[in-house]
Amino acid sequence: MIGLLQRVSQASVTVDGEVVGRIGRGLMVLVCAEKGDSERQADTLLAKLLGYRVFPDHAGKMNRSVTDVEGGLLLVPQFTLAA
């Protein structure tokens, strides 16, 4: 399982002119599930995503997680990551 994350101030996914997912501040993650991946691997990836400290604290250091800032998590399927 592969995940490519980007910290965002806002993000959305539009399909055929309709917004199907939207978040404010948080993480947008391109996710690729490969053959043989398990639910356990998905849980591990989620735990990592929620724990990455990529948001600034009061001193401006990247020391806060998406959970700490009560941010959103937008998961976008992207099978080409496995190519």
- For residue 83, name the pLDDT band (cuts at 50, 70, 90): confident
Calculate mean pLDDT across residues 34-57. 96
pLDDT over 70, % of the chain: 100
> Is 10 an annotated catalytic residue?
no
- For residue 82, name the pLDDT band (cuts at 50, 70, 90): confident
pLDDT over 90, % of the chain: 94
> Is 79 an annotated catalytic residue?
yes
Catalytic residue chosen out of the listed positions 14, 41, 44, 79: 79
**Residue ranges of domains in the chain, CATH in brackets:** 2-82 (3.50.80.10)
Q: Give Cα separations from 8 to 37, 38, 61 (angstroms).
A: 27, 28, 17
Distance CA 58, CA 40 (A): 35
